C-alpha cells in the first residue's frame, strides 16, 4: 500500500511517502525560527506558513518518489487532531482535495497515536505494550493491548512535560523551545534531588501535574536572580555551572516523575511486552536512558523513535494511516478537525476500495 502522509498540526509542515512498509521520502519544514521571535507558536502565522509551504512539499516528495502526478498512491493520511484548529484545517482541506482529485481514500489520523506508532519504525512493537507519550501539548500513558488499540491510563492535569521544559527554559532565558537546551545543559551539571519535590506523586493514580514544579523553579530562580543573564546566543561555555546544575535537577525531577507514574501504569496492565516512549520529549537523552534501563530490568523490549522522528513528522502520520487502512477503514469526506479532547475516531467507514 502506497500512502502519502500530511502533518500540519502545529509548527512543522511535513509530507512523507510510505510504500509497503518502506519509508520512501519524508520532508519536515520546521517553523521554529519564525515563532521563536515571539517565544511560542503564533497560531495565525503557523496556519499561513502551512498554506504557503504544503503544496511545494507535496510536489517535492512526489517528484523524489518518481510519482510527480501522484500515480500509484493508494491512500492519503492526514493529522486530524489534536492541534491548532487553523493549522489542522490547512492539512485536512489539502488532503481531501488531493483525495478527490486522485480518486483515492483519505484517512484522518490521531496525532498522538501516530507519535507512539513511530516506535515501530526501527523494530516491531510487541503487544501488549505500554505507551508513554511525552510531547509539547500532552503527557499521556496508554495501555496498548493490540495494534491500533489505545486505552488511556493517565494524563497531565495541567502542563505537559514538554511545556514544563519550555516554560522553565524561558525562566532561564534559554532559546525557544527550551527542552533541547535543558537536555544539553543537564549533561554538564550535577542534579540535586532534594531541591524540588517530584510533583503529584502523593496519590495512587497515573496522572501528572507539572505546573507546581514550574512555580517552584520560578521562585528559586527569582531568589537566585538568574534571569538577568542574557543567553540570546546560546553558548554552553558562557553558561555558569549553577545553571547547568539547575538544568540537571529539573531534568532529573521530570524524568523521575515520568518513571514513577510509568511504574504504576505497568502494575495496572496484565502483561507488558514493550515499553514505547514517544513524542518530542522522548528525544531527551536522560529520559531515554532511564526508561531503557527500567524496561530492560523488567524484561520488556524498549522502543523509542530515532531522535529525528520524536517530534512532529508526516512519516508517523502516513504509517498510522496505513495501520487503520489495513483493517479496511477510511474516513468519510466530511470528517472534521478535532483540535482537542477525545479524538478516538469512531467514525471510520469501511473502505469500499479495500480488497
Ligand atoms: P503534541 O504532540 O502534544 O500535539 P507537539 O507536537 O507540539 O505537541 P512535539 O513536537 O511532539 O510536541 O514535541 C515538542 C516538545 O518536545 C517541545 O516542548 C520541546 O521542548 C520538547 N523537546 C524536544 N527535544 C527535547 C529534549 N531533548 N529534551 C526535552 N524536551 C525536548
Ligand atoms: Mg512542533
Ligand atoms: Fe506532536
Q: Are residue 180 and residue 297 in the same domain, yes or no?
A: yes
Q: Rounded distance, CA 272 to CA 127, Å? A: 7
Q: Total domain count for the chain?
A: 2
CB of 305 shorter than 6 A to ligand 1:
no
Ligand 1, atom 12: nearest CA belongs to which residue?
136
Q: Are residue 109 and residue 140 in the same domain, yes or no?
A: no
pLDDT at 84: 98
Whether 138 has a binding-site annotation, put simply, is: no
Q: Are residue 18 and residue 110 in the same domain, yes or no?
A: yes
pLDDT at 344: 58
Does the pLDDT of residue 232 top 90, yes or no?
no
Cell 523524489 belongs to residue = 64
Q: With a cut of 0.85, is the ipTM above it? A: yes
pLDDT at 225: 79
Q: Are residue 299 and residue 166 in the same domain, yes or no?
A: yes
- Is residue 110 domain-resident? yes
Query: What's the distance, Cα to Cα, between the start and end of the chain in Å?
Result: 12
Omega within 30 of 0 (cis) for the link into 178:
no
Q: Are residue 90 and residue 71 in the same domain, yes or no?
A: yes
Does the pLDDT of residue 314 top 60, yes or no?
yes
pLDDT at 347: 77
CB of 136 shorter than 6 A to ligand 1:
yes
Which of the listed residues 82, 115, 141, 179 should we mutate to test ligand 1's pocket, taking the one with most ligand atoms within 8 A of CB? 179
CB of 8 shorter than 6 A to ligand 1:
no
**What's the gap in Å between 83 CA and the centre of ligand 3?**
8
Q: Give the range among 34-48, 236-250, 279-293, 341-355 with minimum mean pLDDT.
A: 341-355
Domain that holds residue 28: 2-116+310-350
CB of 139 shorter than 6 A to ligand 1:
no
CATH (domain of 85): 3.30.420.40
CB of 131 shorter than 6 A to ligand 1:
no
CB of 159 shorter than 6 A to ligand 1:
no
pTM of the model: 0.96
Exposure on the CB side of residue 30, measured as CA atoms within 13 A:
10
- Is residue 261 domain-resident? yes
Q: Are residue 261 and residue 346 in the same domain, yes or no?
A: no
Instruction: State the average pLDDT over residues 141-146.
Output: 98
Please enumerate in sequence order all residues whose Cβ is within 8 A of that of 200, keeping only pairs 6 or more positions apart, or say none. 157, 207, 208, 209, 210, 212, 257
Whether 136 has a binding-site annotation, put simply, is: yes
Query: Phi/psi at 137 (nearest 5 deg)?
Result: -115, -10
Indicate the average pLDDT of the chain.
95
C-alpha cell recorded at residue 284: 531527551
**What's the gap in Å between 150 CA and the centre of ligand 2?**
23
Q: Are residue 158 and residue 182 in the same domain, yes or no?
A: yes
Percent of the chain with pLDDT over 70: 96
Q: Are residue 219 and residue 334 in the same domain, yes or no?
A: no
Q: Are residue 174 and residue 263 in the same domain, yes or no?
A: yes
Q: Are residue 209 and residue 343 in the same domain, yes or no?
A: no
Q: Rounded distance, CA 68 to CA 72, Å? A: 10
**What's the gap in Å between 36 CA and the centre of ligand 1?**
14
Q: Are residue 220 and residue 150 in the same domain, yes or no?
A: yes
- Is residue 355 domain-resident? no
Instruction: State the average pLDDT over residues 305-326.
Output: 97
Q: Give the range among 13-22, 112-121, 225-234, 250-259 with minimum mean pLDDT.
A: 225-234
Element (H, E) at 151: strand 151-155
Q: Rounded distance, CA 44 to CA 48, Å? A: 6
CB of 81 shorter than 6 A to ligand 1:
no
Residues less than 5 Å from ion ligand 2, measured at CB: 10-12, 312
Ligand 1, atom 4: nearest CA belongs to which residue?
137
**What's the gap in Å between 38 CA and the centre of ligand 2?**
15
Does the pLDDT of residue 210 top 90, yes or no?
yes
Q: Are residue 276 and residue 128 in the same domain, yes or no?
A: yes
Amino acid at each position: 500500500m502506497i500512502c502519502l502522509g500530511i502533518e500540519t498540526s502545529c509548527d512543522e509542515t511535513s509530507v512523507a511517502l510510505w510504500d509497503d512498509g518502506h519509508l520512501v521520502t519524508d520532508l519536515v519544514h520546521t517553523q521554529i525560527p519564525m515563532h521563536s521571535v515571539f517565544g511560542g507558536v503564533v497560531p495565525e502565522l503557523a496556519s499561513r506558513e502551512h498554506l504557503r509551504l504544503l503544496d511545494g512539499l507535496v510536489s517535492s516528495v512526489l517528484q523524489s518518489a518518481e510519482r510527480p502526478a501522484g500515480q500509484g498512491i493508494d491512500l492519503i493520511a492526514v493529522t486530524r487532531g489534536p492541534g491548532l484548529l487553523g493549522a489542522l484545517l490547512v492539512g485536512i482541506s489539502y488532503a481531501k482535495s488531493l483525495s478527490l482529485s486522485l480518486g483515492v481514500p483519505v484517512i484522518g489520523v490521531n496525532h498522538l497515536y501516530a507519535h507512539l506508532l513511530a516506535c515501530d519504525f526501527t523494530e516491531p512493537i510487541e503487544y501488549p505494550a505500554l505507551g508513554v507519550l511525552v510531547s509539547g501539548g500532552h503527557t499521556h500513558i496508554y495501555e496498548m493491548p493490540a495494534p491500533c488499540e489505545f486505552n488511556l491510563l493517565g494524563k497531565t492535569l495541567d502542563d505537559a512535560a514538554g511545556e514544563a521544559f519550555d516554560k522553565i527554559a524561558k525562566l532561564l532565558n534559554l532559546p525557544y523551545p527550551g527542552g533541547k537546551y535543558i537536555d544539553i545543559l543537564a549533561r554538564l551539571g550535577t542534579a540535586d534531588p532534594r531541591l524540588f519535590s517530584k510533583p503529584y506523586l502523593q496519590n495512587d493514580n497515573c496522572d501528572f501535574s507539572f505546573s507546581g514544579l514550574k512555580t517552584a523553579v520560578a521562585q528559586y530562580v527569582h531568589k537566585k536572580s538568574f534571569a538577568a543573564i542574557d543567553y540570546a546566543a546560546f553558548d554552553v561555555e558562557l553558561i555558569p555551572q549553577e545553571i547547568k546544575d539547575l538544568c540537571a535537577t529539573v531534568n532529573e525531577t521530570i524524568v523521575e516523575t515520568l518513571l514513577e507514574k510509568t511504574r504504576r501504569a505497568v502494575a495496572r496492565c496484565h502483561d507488558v511486552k514493550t515499553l514505547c516512549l514517544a513524542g518530542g520529549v522522548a528525544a531527551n537523552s536522560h529520559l531515554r536512558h532511564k526508561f531503557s534501563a527500567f524496561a530492560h530490568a523488567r524484561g520488556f523490549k524498549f522502543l523509542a523513535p530515532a531522535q529525528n522522528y520524536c517530534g512532529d513528522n508526516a512519516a508517523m502520520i502516513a504509517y498510522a494511516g496505513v495501520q487503520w487502512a489495513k483493517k479496511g477503514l477510511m474516513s468519510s469526506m466530511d470528517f472534521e478537525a478535532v483540535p482537542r479532547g477525545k479524538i478516538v475516531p469512531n467514525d471510520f467507514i469501511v473502505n469500499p476500495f479495500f480488497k
